[in-house]
């Protein structure tokens, strides 16, 4: 009996721990939002530094929504601890959806689809005006989104797409992972090496980022004779696994001159292995190091010349979402359902401290 | 059914043993531990394959039994010492589990059928009741009912009575006689001689894997039965008494341990108790009367609620077993398997355990030291084991008990508590243990000896404390130490003090 | 004749020894690598980018990266033996201990210019954090009688969030290169520091097992708790203490993990390492139901897992199939070391010996 009671209590504790994240509302007095950012058209790879992320910090005061009433939004996101990308993404959303900006926002976090769906149902019951969703999994969302539509709630997807009828959501703001990969590969091709012997370190297999970033390399290696994959292996976004993979290539004595890591952490792990083996890297080094995501520390590595290239994966969707909501509130229609964000690549040879401060996450 | 006949030449577990069971008879299978009783039964029920010989049934002639399922289909059912049912299911579910042909189960019908059988056999249980809520005896009977309902012609009862009290045993015997009248042949395996003479028609004695003989019960007096089982024409049991020389020291009258108003959380009434130096006393009473609980309270095995324990007149604090051990108390628990042996550990580790704990966490014995202790006691108690490295669980019950005894003797206790040390072990070891108790006492060790077999108590103890319904109800010594006096005290006779 | 039987006894003892199957697996892996590429066993002395001599080669890599797992296997073996269950929160508690260490070293600043506290202080705090987590798990298991896997599920679920919370969700980077020595090389010493740390842990546990009764007590408690209690052992305390010891192992593993890159990533650091640690115990032929254990077999199991991982990287198996390859090898190893299988084999060899005898 005592035991039973205790286990019930414990489950309660665990459940409470999980829910703790869900209840949080963004109350932080964040930077007030700037005017609606400009460019939303599908950005060209070499687009000029777009204004929106910077704009968030430019603190241009603006009155709350015209109606004077707060717009209720429910935001379902992945756990902010998942990665630096997610942390930045969450911070960006929290900074945008504040009372000062005319929003009443509730946040729910989970890496599990079923918990996210449960959170969505709760938000529908709470009669939010907008449901913002970064789905953990692509499948299983049809019925709950249908419920949201029936309740007159506009659904906006950010960061990730889902396998559902496009009529169920008004817009989807995503990174184009394929384009990120192409961007990086194009940069690499421009380096004009005689031979490309690449160690390709992949993310968690099957994730959108991994698929997009891998595809570009695979296509190029298939097309060009002087592009070879020395090793292609998943390190599951884990720096230390990447370190092991590169170490094992070094141990086997195979030649390579490029490290193409699908995120910054893994690039860092790879570099640790190079350092231990006395292999030079970065600008003027023997091995070209490429990463993704543009963490602040990674851009600093570029600045120091230890790495060669980093491709941005833009976590700052809040301003795009804000713009769409404003349009809908004004009765305008959304012309483009899928909005691809601008994403830049940075080269060690021309990166500036300014870039680091602006784009580092 | 006329004849089950088989013999197994070859391996020494069983050598050419014949066994015949007639319709409607209760046939005792007797022998010391390791005599081959279990092996014989396991061959009969298909748990073991046989290396030779034949098994025949009355109607089918020679049959082959490859699995317990085969045996069941042939009408051979077994009820083991440990209940092998599922305590969290209902009685009815237990009776029918694993027997249905299809997957669909008619619950209602099942419960009705089960109730009918229970009623028929006069078993005090309801089919819809959870098995765990029945007493052990009733659970045992349910297991029998399950066997009977499977149209069994041969029922094997392997030590069914060892965890039952007398009334329960009586009930079980009633059921057995009832089944016998219905023409079921029953093979009854037990260590209790009384029970054999009470209920059986025939006895087959095995020794060292060979058949000693088959006897009509009336042709074989007890003494001879024991002799046949031991394989010696000796009257060991009566020898003991003559050897009994009590402790003669000057301090023979000092009370080594005294308990006052002691009560544990195991549901016994507070009691007073004492033991003198070199004395052998005993707790007697029916199963569940609080014998074990009393000694457990002294040892600190259960949580002590109130009362004090004095050692040589000085109050000592005994809150947990370690406290008792430090004060020179040793306790051989009632349930060897659950509380005694550490199955996977070697004989050596099992022997040194208690002394090791007393010596301290940071002072382990060296390997050679441990071996010395182990070898000494293996020899002293003639423990039959391949080596000191053998896991204790592969020893026979009697030898396991000796190892536990060795464990406590190694600590050189001033006060040794033996709770049912002779249960479920062979006659030879029983005698050894009783002798040992008297020997220890004569050297000045105080011993409390608890046994379900009253003759053992009478033989060893000079003072008996009688318990009834978790309460101390009397104390017998001297001339009062007779079977009838004990009985009347247990039953609540005039000798209550 | 007597010589013959002694020889047979030796073989039988060898085959039935707990270390036999892990050793055979290790040798098999080594042979496969030797056939595939003899340079697998080459160890070369080179210089790293800091200009100091270092040894490199696959074997060094295995010893290097197997260290954390070997250290964790020590604690996991004890926990398994005493409680008959496993701690699945190990990865998450590494994140907690590592995060606590960084918090102290960086003083809450994600990009400090200098250490806010000496490394030893950071490590002690990590030990305290690890042991506190172990004590929490141990308390639930020993005193509240919750099944280990359920009890540790709490920290398994919440641990990484707690780790992130300790550093306000920042990912601090330790500025002092000395901190990196624990996960790589000490200047001038060509052997990875992790190898020394693992060796130190193994020596410590060897001494503990030799000069205390920890082994006897944990096994006794794991096999028969009630009986252990009646022999004066406090089973609850023994279970509790094994979890605390595991917590200490976790802190040491966290030091290595965090030191390798001088930073932490709460979501992926030591991810799934609990499963590898449990696997190491199982590969060593130890029963996951508790009771008897062989510490050396567990540690060997840990290195076998690392050997396997390195081998798979080396063979450059497809990323999609990596997990499947690993699973197949693990299944084979676990089945082969299962008592049922061993019994069958020993029966087979017996029969063979018998026929040989008859022929002879």
Contact C314 A238 (CB under 8 A): no
Query: Is residue C199 classed as helix, strand or coil in its secondary structure?
Result: helix
Spell out the SS3 assignment of B262-278: EEECCCCCCEEEEEECC
Residues of C in contact with B340 (CB under 8 A): 227, 230
Q: Are residues B226 and B290 in the same domain?
A: no
Q: Are residues B484 and B341 in the same domain?
A: yes
What are the φ and ψ backbone dihedral angles of B308, each rounded to 5 degrees?
-125, 155
Nearest CA in chain B to C224: B342
- Report the range out of A260-269, C2-11, C43-52 with the highest average pLDDT: A260-269
b/e burial code for range A173-189 (CB count within 10 A of at least 16 → b): bbbbbbbbbbbbbebbe
A343: in domain? no
Q: Are residues A32 and A159 in the same domain?
A: yes
Q: Select the residue of C210, C220, C227 nearest B339 (Cβ to Cβ).
A: C227
In the listed set B232, B262, B293, which residue is the last one of a domain according to the structure?
B232
Q: Are residues A32 and A122 in the same domain?
A: yes
Q: Are residues A205 and A325 in the same domain?
A: no
Return the closest-CA partner of residue A303 out of A359, A221, A224.
A359
Residue range of the domain that includes C182 = 58-316
B247: in domain? yes
- With cut-offs at 50, 70 and 90, classify the pLDDT of residue A242: very high
Residues of B in contact with C232 (CB under 8 A): 320-322, 325, 354, 357-358
DSSP bridge partners of A107 = A75
Structure tokens at B249: 């020291």
- Output the pLDDT for position A24: 41
Q: Give dist(CA A185, CA A188) in Å, integer.
A: 5
Nearest CA in chain C to A277: C48
Return the closest-CA partner of residue C85 out of C278, C300, C245.
C278
Q: Give dist(CA B330, CA B316) in Å, integer.
A: 15
Identify the residue with better confidence: B5 or B365. Answer: B365
b/e burial code for range C148-169 (CB count within 10 A of at least 16 → b): bbbbbbbbbbbbbbbbbebbeb
- Output the pLDDT for position C73: 96
Q: C-alpha distances in angstroms, A272 versus A285, A289, B13?
A: 14, 12, 66
Q: Are residues C262 and C343 in the same domain?
A: no
Return the closest-CA partner of residue B412 out of B384, B382, B378, B377.
B377
Among B325-334, B452-461, C194-203, C229-238, where is mean pLDDT lowest?
B452-461
Q: Are residues C243 and C341 in the same domain?
A: no
Contact C171 A80 (CB under 8 A): no
In the listed set B174, B206, B232, which residue is the last one of a domain according to the structure?
B232
Q: C-alpha distances in angstroms, C298 versus A74, A281, C301?
A: 49, 39, 5
Is A238 an 8 Å CB contact of chain C? Answer: yes
Q: Are residues C227 and C347 in the same domain?
A: no
Sign of CA dihedral C3, C5, C8, C14: negative
Q: Are residues C101 and C114 in the same domain?
A: yes
Global confidence as pTM: 0.77
Q: C-alpha distances in angstroms, B148 versus A114, B21, B135, B182?
A: 52, 17, 20, 11
Nearest CA in chain A to C323: A234
C62: in domain? yes
B353: in domain? yes
C271: in domain? yes
Among B449-463, B468-482, C6-20, C258-272, where is mean pLDDT lowest?
C6-20
With 80 as the cut, is the pLDDT of residue B269 above it? Answer: yes
Q: Are residues C181 and C100 in the same domain?
A: yes
Q: Are residues C152 and C204 in the same domain?
A: yes
Q: Are residues C94 and C200 in the same domain?
A: yes
Q: Are residues B190 and B74 in the same domain?
A: yes
Q: Are residues A198 and A95 in the same domain?
A: no
Establish, for the pair of chains B and C, how many residue pairs have beta carbons separated by less than 8 Å: 74
Determine the average pLDDT of the residues in B90-114: 73
B371: in domain? yes
Q: Are residues A43 and A54 in the same domain?
A: yes
Q: Are residues A251 and A224 in the same domain?
A: yes
Q: Are residues C353 and C270 in the same domain?
A: no
**Contact at 8 Å (CB) between A281 and A289?**
yes
For chain A, what is the domain count? 2
Is C234 an 8 Å CB contact of chain B? Answer: yes
Nearest CA in chain C to A265: C265
Q: Are residues B176 and B265 in the same domain?
A: no
Contact A84 C314 (CB under 8 A): no
Determine the average pLDDT of the residues in B320-330: 93
Q: Are residues A101 and A235 in the same domain?
A: no
- With cut-offs at 50, 70 and 90, classify the pLDDT of residue A8: low
Q: Report chain B's terminal Cα–Cα distance, integer Å.
A: 56
Identify the residue with better confidence: A30 or A319. Answer: A319
B342: in domain? yes
A200: in domain? yes
Distance from CA of C39 to the nearest CA of A (A): 7
User: Which of the other chains make 3 or more beta carbon contacts under 8 angstroms with chain B?
Assistant: C
pLDDT in tens, C191-240: 999 999 999 999 999 999 999 999 999 999 999 999 999 999 999 999 99
Q: How many other C-beta atoms are found inside a 10 Å radius of the C-beta of residue B122?
A: 11
Contact C271 A251 (CB under 8 A): no
pLDDT in tens, C275-333: 999 999 988 888 888 889 999 999 999 999 999 988 988 888 887 787 888 888 888 87
Q: Are residues A151 and A244 in the same domain?
A: no
- Output the pLDDT for position C218: 95
What are the φ and ψ backbone dihedral angles of C348, each rounded to 5 degrees?
-60, -45
Is A14 an 8 Å CB contact of chain C? Answer: yes
What CATH number corresponds to the domain at position B129?
3.40.50.300
pLDDT in tens, B188-202: 888 777 788 888 888
Q: Select the residue of C144, C160, C257 nearest A240 (Cβ to Cβ).
A: C257
Structure tokens at A255: 């030649």
Return the closest-CA partner of residue C71 out of C201, C208, C181.
C201
A5: in domain? no
Return the closest-CA partner of residue C231 out of B331, B335, B448.
B331
- With cut-offs at 50, 70 and 90, classify the pLDDT of residue B3: very low
For chain B, what is the domain count? 2
Q: Give dist(CA B203, CA A113) in Å, integer.
A: 70
User: Which of the other chains make 3 or more beta carbon contacts under 8 angstroms with chain A?
Assistant: C
Q: Are residues A170 and A23 in the same domain?
A: yes
Nearest CA in chain C to A12: C154
- Output the pLDDT for position A76: 93
Q: Which of C206, C207, C218, C232 to mutate to test the interface with B (most CBs of B within 10 A)?
A: C232
Contact C230 B344 (CB under 8 A): no
Q: Check residue B6 and give left, alpha or beta (phi > 0: left; psi -120 to 50: alpha).
A: beta
The yes-or-no reply on A/B contact (3 CB pairs or more, < 8 Å) is: no
A339: in domain? no
Q: Are residues C209 and C307 in the same domain?
A: yes
Contact C213 B339 (CB under 8 A): no
C2: in domain? no
pLDDT in tens, B213-238: 888 888 877 767 777 776 654 444 44
Residues of A in contact with C39 (CB under 8 A): 252-253
Q: Are residues B140 and B89 in the same domain?
A: yes
List CB contacts of C48: < 8 A, sequence separation 6 or more: A275, A276, A277, A278, C54, C184, C185
Distance from chain centroid for Cα A257: 28
- Output the pLDDT for position B75: 82
Is C117 an 8 Å CB contact of chain A? Answer: no
Distance from CA of A1 to the nearest CA of C (A): 12
A37: in domain? yes
Contact A205 C267 (CB under 8 A): no
For chain C, what is the domain count? 2
Helical packing angle, B236-243 and B222-230, nearest 10°: 100
Q: Give dist(CA A133, CA A26) in Å, integer.
A: 16
Strands B304-311 and B314-316: antiparallel
C121: in domain? yes
Distance from CA of B339 to the nearest CA of C (A): 4
Q: Are residues B200 and B323 in the same domain?
A: no
Q: C-alpha distances in angstroms, A206 versus A158, B449, C204, C275?
A: 19, 71, 43, 22
The residues of B whose Cβ lies within 8 A of any Cβ of C are: 299, 301, 320-322, 325, 331, 333, 338-345, 349, 353-354, 356-358, 360-362, 364, 407
Average pLDDT, chain A: 81
Structure tokens at C322: 């990596």
pLDDT in tens, A186-238: 999 999 899 999 999 998 888 888 988 999 999 999 999 999 999 999 998 88
- Output the pLDDT for position B105: 61
B212: in domain? yes
- Output the pLDDT for position A136: 82
Residues of A in contact with C48 (CB under 8 A): 275-278
Q: Are residues B212 and B314 in the same domain?
A: no
A340: in domain? no
pLDDT over 90 percentage in chain A: 41
Contact A279 C49 (CB under 8 A): yes
Q: Are residues B366 and B430 in the same domain?
A: yes
C249: in domain? yes
B322: in domain? yes
In the listed set B171, B202, B232, which residue is the last one of a domain according to the structure?
B232
B360: in domain? yes
DSSP A105-131: EEEEE-SSHHHHHHHHHHHHHTT-SEE
With 50 as the cut, is the pLDDT of residue B450 above it? Answer: yes
A36: in domain? yes
List CB contacts of A126: < 8 A, sequence separation 6 or more: A72, A74, A106
**Contact at 8 Å (CB) between B280 and B447?**
yes
Nearest CA in chain C to A80: C169
Q: Are residues C201 and C276 in the same domain?
A: yes
Q: Are residues B324 and B448 in the same domain?
A: yes
Q: Which of C231, C242, C245 to mutate to test the interface with B (most CBs of B within 10 A)?
A: C231
What are the φ and ψ backbone dihedral angles of C196, each rounded to 5 degrees?
-65, -40
Q: Are residues B262 and B156 in the same domain?
A: no
Residue range of the domain that includes A74 = 19-174+315-330
Q: Are residues A188 and A149 in the same domain?
A: no
- Output the pLDDT for position B39: 78
Q: Select the residue of A18, A81, A251 nearest C267 (Cβ to Cβ).
A: A81
**Contact at 8 Å (CB) between B434 and B412?**
no
Q: C-alpha distances in angstroms, B242 versus A82, B35, B433, B442, B458?
A: 83, 29, 16, 13, 13
Q: Give dist(CA C188, CA C186) in Å, integer.
A: 6
With 90 as the cut, is the pLDDT of residue A84 above it? Answer: no
Q: Select the residue of C54, C58, C313 nearest A233 (Cβ to Cβ).
A: C313
- With cut-offs at 50, 70 and 90, classify the pLDDT of residue B457: confident
Q: Select the residue of B301, B322, B345 nearest C223 (Cβ to Cβ).
A: B345
Residues of A in contact with C144 (CB under 8 A): 3, 6
C residues 192-231 near B, CB within 8 Å? 210-214, 216-217, 219-220, 223-224, 226-231
Residues of A in contact with C267 (CB under 8 A): 79, 81-83
ipTM value of the model?
0.84
Query: Is residue A157 classed as helix, strand or coil in its secondary structure?
Result: strand
pLDDT in tens, A19-78: 444 434 333 333 333 333 333 333 333 334 444 444 444 434 444 444 567 899 999 998
**Contact at 8 Å (CB) between B452 and B195?**
no
- Output the pLDDT for position B103: 55
What CATH number corresponds to the domain at position A52?
3.40.50.2300
Residue range of the domain that includes B419 = 239-491
Q: Are residues A137 and A192 in the same domain?
A: no
**Kind and range of the H or E element at A258?**
strand A258-261
Q: Are residues B244 and B375 in the same domain?
A: yes
Contact B321 C230 (CB under 8 A): yes
A265: in domain? yes
Contact B361 C211 (CB under 8 A): no
Contact A10 C169 (CB under 8 A): no
C75: in domain? yes
What are the φ and ψ backbone dihedral angles of B380, each rounded to 5 degrees?
-60, -45
Contact C316 A232 (CB under 8 A): yes
Q: Are residues C328 and C310 in the same domain?
A: no
Is C57 an 8 Å CB contact of chain A? Answer: yes
Determine the average pLDDT of the residues in C31-42: 88
- With cut-offs at 50, 70 and 90, classify the pLDDT of residue B12: low
Q: Are residues B180 and B305 in the same domain?
A: no
DSSP state of B33: T
Q: Are residues A166 and A190 in the same domain?
A: no
Residues of C in contact with A17 (CB under 8 A): 154, 157-158, 161
B480: exposed, middle or buried (Cβ count in 10 Å: 0-12, 13-18, 19+): middle
Q: Are residues C170 and C251 in the same domain?
A: yes
Determine the average pLDDT of the residues in A166-178: 88
Residues of C in contact with A280 (CB under 8 A): 49
């Amino acid at each position: 009996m005592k035991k039973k009671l205790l286990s019930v209590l414990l489950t309660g504790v665990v459940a409470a721990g999980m829910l703790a994240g869900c209840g949080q509302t963004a109350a932080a007095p964040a930077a007030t939002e700037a005017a609606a950012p400009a460019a939303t058209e599908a950005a060209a790879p070499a687009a000029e530094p777009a204004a929106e992320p910077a704009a968030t910090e430019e603190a241009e005061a603006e009155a709350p929504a015209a109606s004077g009433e707060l717009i209720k939004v429910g935001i379902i996101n992945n756990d902010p601890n998942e990665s630096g990308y997610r942390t930045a993404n969450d911070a960006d959303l929290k900074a945008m959806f504040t009372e000062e900006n005319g929003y009443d926002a509730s946040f729910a976090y989970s890496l599990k689809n079923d918990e996210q769906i449960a959170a969505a149902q709760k938000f529908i019951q709470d009669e939010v005006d907008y449901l913002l969703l970064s789905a953990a999994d692509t499948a299983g969302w049809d019925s709950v989104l249908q419920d949201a539509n029936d309740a007159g709630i506009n659904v906006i997807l950010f960061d990730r797409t889902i396998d559902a009828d496009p009529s169920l959501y008004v817009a989807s703001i995503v990174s184009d992972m394929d384009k990120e990969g192409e961007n990086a590969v194009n940069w690499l091709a421009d380096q004009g090496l005689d031979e490309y012997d690449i160690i390709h370190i992949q993310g968690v297999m099957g994730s959108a980022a991994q698929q997009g970033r891998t595809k570009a390399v695979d296509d190029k290696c298939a097309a060009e004779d002087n592009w070879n994959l020395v090793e292609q292996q998943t390190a599951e976004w884990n720096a230390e696994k990447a370190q092991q993979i590169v170490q094992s290539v070094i141990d086997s004595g195979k030649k390579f001159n490029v490290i193409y890591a699908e995120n910054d952490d893994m690039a860092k792990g790879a570099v640790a292995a190079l350092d231990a083996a006395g292999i030079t890297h970065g600008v003027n080094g023997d091995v070209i190091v490429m990463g993704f995501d543009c963490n602040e520390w990674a851009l600093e590595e570029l600045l120091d010349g230890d790495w060669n290239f980093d491709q941005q994966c833009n976590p700052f969707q809040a301003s795009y979402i804000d713009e769409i909501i404003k349009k809908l509130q004004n009765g305008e229609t959304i012309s483009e359902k899928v909005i691809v964000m601008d994403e830049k690549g940075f080269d060690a040879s021309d990166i500036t401290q300014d870039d680091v401060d602006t784009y580092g996450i | 059914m006329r004849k089950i006949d088989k013999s197994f030449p070859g391996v020494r577990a069983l050598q050419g043993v014949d066994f015949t069971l007639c319709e409607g008879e209760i046939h005792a299978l007797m022998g010391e531990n390791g005599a081959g009783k279990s092996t014989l039964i396991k061959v009969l029920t298909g748990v073991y394959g046989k290396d030779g010989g034949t098994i025949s049934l009355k109607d089918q002639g020679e049959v082959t039994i490859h699995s317990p399922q085969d045996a069941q289909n042939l009408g051979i059912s077994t009820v083991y010492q440990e209940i092998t049912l599922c305590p969290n299911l209902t009685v009815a579910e237990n009776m029918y589990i694993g027997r249905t042909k299809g997957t669909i189960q008619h619950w209602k019908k099942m419960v009705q059928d089960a109730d009918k059988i229970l009623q028929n056999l006069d078993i005090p249980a309801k089919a819809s009741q959870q098995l765990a809520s029945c007493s052990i005896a009733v659970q045992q009977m349910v297991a029998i009912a399950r066997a009977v309902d499977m149209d069994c012609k041969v029922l094997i009862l392997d030590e069914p009575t060892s965890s039952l009290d007398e009334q329960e045993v009586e009930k079980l015997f009633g059921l057995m006689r009832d089944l016998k009248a219905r023409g079921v042949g029953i093979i009854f395996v037990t260590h209790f001689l009384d029970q054999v003479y009470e209920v059986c028609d025939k006895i087959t004695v095995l020794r060292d894997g060979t058949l000693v003989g088959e006897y009509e019960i009336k042709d074989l007096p007890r003494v001879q039965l024991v002799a046949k089982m031991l394989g010696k024409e000796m009257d060991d049991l009566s020898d003991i008494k003559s050897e009994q020389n009590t402790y003669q020291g000057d301090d023979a009258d000092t009370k080594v341990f005294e308990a006052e108003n002691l009560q544990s959380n195991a549901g016994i009434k507070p009691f007073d108790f004492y033991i003198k130096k070199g004395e052998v006393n005993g707790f007697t009473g029916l199963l569940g009367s609080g014998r074990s609980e009393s000694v457990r309270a002294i040892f600190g095995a259960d949580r002590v609620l109130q009362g004090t324990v004095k050692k040589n007149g000085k109050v000592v604090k005994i809150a947990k077993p370690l406290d008792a051990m430090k004060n020179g108390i040793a306790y051989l628990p009632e349930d060897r398997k659950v509380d005694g042996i550490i199955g996977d550990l070697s004989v050596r580790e099992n022997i040194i355990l208690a002394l090791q704990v007393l010596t301290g966490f940071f002072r382990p014995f060296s390997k050679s030291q441990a071996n010395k202790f182990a070898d000494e006691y293996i020899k002293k108690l003639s423990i039959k084991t391949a080596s000191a490295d053998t896991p204790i669980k592969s020893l026979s019950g009697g030898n396991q008990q000796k190892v536990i005894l060795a464990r406590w003797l190694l600590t050189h206790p001033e006060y040794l508590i033996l709770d049912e040390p002779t249960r479920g072990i062979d006659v030879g070891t029983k005698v050894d243990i009783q002798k040992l108790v008297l020997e220890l006492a004569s050297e000045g060790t105080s011993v409390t000896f608890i046994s379900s077999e009253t003759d053992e108590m009478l033989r060893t103890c000079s003072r008996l404390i009688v318990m009834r319904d978790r309460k101390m109800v009397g104390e017998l010594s001297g001339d009062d130490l007779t079977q009838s006096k004990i009985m009347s005290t247990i039953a609540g006779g005039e000798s209550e003090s | 004749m007597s010589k013959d039987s002694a020889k047979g006894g030796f073989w039988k003892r060898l085959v039935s020894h707990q270390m036999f199957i892990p050793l055979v697996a290790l040798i098999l892996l080594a042979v496969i690598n030797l056939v595939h590429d003899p340079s697998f066993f080459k160890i070369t002395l080179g210089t790293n980018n800091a200009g100091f001599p270092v040894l490199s080669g696959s074997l060094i890599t295995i010893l290097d990266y197997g260290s954390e797992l070997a250290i964790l296997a020590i604690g996991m073996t004890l926990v398994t033996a005493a409680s008959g269950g496993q701690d699945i929160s190990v990865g998450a508690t590494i994140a907690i201990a590592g995060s606590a260490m960084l918090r102290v070293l960086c003083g809450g600043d994600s990009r400090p210019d200098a250490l806010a506290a000496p490394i030893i202080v950071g490590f002690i705090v990590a030990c305290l954090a690890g042991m506190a987590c172990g004590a929490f798990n141990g308390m639930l298991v020993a005193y509240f009688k919750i099944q280990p896997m359920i009890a540790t599920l709490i920290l398994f679920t919440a641990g990484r969030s707690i780790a992130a919370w300790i550093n306000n969700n920042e990912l601090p980077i330790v500025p002092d290169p000395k901190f990196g020595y624990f996960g790589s090389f000490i200047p001038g010493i060509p052997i990875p520091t992790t190898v020394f740390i693992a060796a130190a842990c193994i020596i410590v546990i060897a001494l503990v097992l030799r000069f205390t009764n920890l082994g006897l007590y944990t096994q006794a408690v794991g096999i028969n708790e009630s009986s252990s209690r009646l022999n004066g052992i406090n089973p609850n305390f023994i279970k509790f203490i094994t979890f605390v010891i595991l917590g200490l192992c976790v802190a040491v593993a966290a030091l290595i993990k965090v030191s390798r890159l001088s930073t932490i990533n709460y979501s992926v650091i030591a991810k799934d390492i609990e499963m590898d640690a449990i696997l190491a115990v199982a590969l060593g032929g130890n029963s996951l139901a508790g009771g008897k254990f062989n510490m050396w077999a567990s540690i060997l199991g840990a290195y076998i897992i690392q050997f396997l991982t390195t081998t798979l990287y080396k063979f450059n198996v497809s990323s999609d199939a990596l997990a499947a390859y690993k699973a197949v090898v693990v299944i084979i190893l676990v089945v082969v070391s299962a008592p049922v299988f061993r019994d069958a084999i020993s029966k087979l060899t017996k029969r063979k010996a018998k026929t040989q005898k008859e022929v002879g």
